[in-house]
């Protein structure tokens, strides 16, 4: 179905997908921060992990940390978060197929990267849907597993998309900025954000770690938006 959308339809699908994810994450986070009650109370998740792993930063003295998926822990913000992430995951899978069919590089390496972009995009979308099924406050191990899938796959997806479409979008610009340069800048932002996020969480700086989780997410969503100024491959040939 995604291959049959015209350019305008595909651009609208991109806009819907980005709005679903970014909008639901921001709104649910805002609701969580203002919700009070149990959200602000100390939380101990050590009973969810096997013996020997209890000291892995699973005691949250200040309540729910400001990570994106923390908003999926309690109602009513959980309803907003779950809807946005689940439907956004479906749209991500749909768009991944659409981008794959619109990207027809000639070089073998770029063809391989196009396949990698498709696979990593599917992993991102499916993992987003699984995050909904495994809230961090009740299923921390599986939650972290699916979250890490998103983080790693996002970095792979951005780089694979940038490389596979490098020649196709050589002359494409957004407000004077090269789309290719924007994509590689978003890749650098995603990689730096991931490492900073990992470093801060390992040292117990949860707020700082959460900030870089947000920048990683915004980098991936911004990369998706770079497909809006592009045209179908057939239109370029």
Confidence of residue 209 (pLDDT cuts 50, 70, 90): very high
What pTM was computed for the model? 0.93
Between strands 177-178 and 59-60, the pairing is: unpaired
Quick check: bond before 76 cis, omega within 30? Answer: yes
Q: What angle do helix axes 206-225 and 140-164 make, rounded to 10 degrees?
A: 40
- For the record, the structure tokens of 208 come out as 């700082």
Instruction: Note the helical H segments in the chain.
Output: 7-35, 77-102, 108-133, 140-164, 179-202, 206-225, 233-236
Domain containing 143: what range?
2-236
d(CA 207, CA 98): 36
Average pLDDT over residues 45-62: 76
pLDDT value of position 235: 35
Average pLDDT over residues 191-199: 98
Residue 31's CB is within 10 A of a number of other CB atoms, namely 19
Instruction: Quote the number of domains for the chain.
Output: 1
């Amino acid at each position: 179905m995604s291959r049959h959308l015209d350019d305008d339809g595909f651009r609208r699908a991109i806009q819907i997908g980005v709005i679903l994810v970014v909008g639901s994450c921001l709104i649910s986070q805002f609701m969580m921060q203002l919700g009070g009650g149990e959200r602000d109370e100390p939380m101990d998740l050590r009973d969810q992990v096997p013996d020997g792993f209890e000291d892995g930063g699973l005691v949250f003295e200040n309540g729910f940390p400001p990570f994106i998926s923390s908003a999926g822990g309690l109602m009513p913000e959980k309803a907003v978060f779950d809807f946005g992430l689940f439907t956004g995951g479906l749209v991500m899978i749909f768009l991944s197929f659409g981008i794959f069919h619109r990207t027809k590089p000639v070089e073998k390496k770029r063809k391989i990267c196009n396949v990698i972009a498709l696979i990593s995009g599917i992993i991102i979308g499916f993992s987003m849907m699984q995050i909904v099924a495994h809230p961090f406050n009740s299923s921390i191990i599986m939650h972290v597993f699916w979250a890490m899938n998103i983080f790693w796959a996002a970095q792979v997806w951005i780089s694979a998309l940038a490389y596979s479409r490098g020649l196709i979008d050589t002359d494409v610009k957004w407000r004077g900025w090269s789309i290719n340069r924007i994509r590689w800048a978003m890749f650098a932002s995603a990689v730096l954000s991931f490492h900073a996020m990992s470093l801060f969480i390992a040292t117990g700086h949860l707020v700082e770690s959460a900030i870089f989780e947000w920048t990683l997410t915004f980098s991936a969503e911004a990369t998706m938006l770079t497909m809006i100024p592009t045209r179908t491959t057939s239109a370029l040939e």
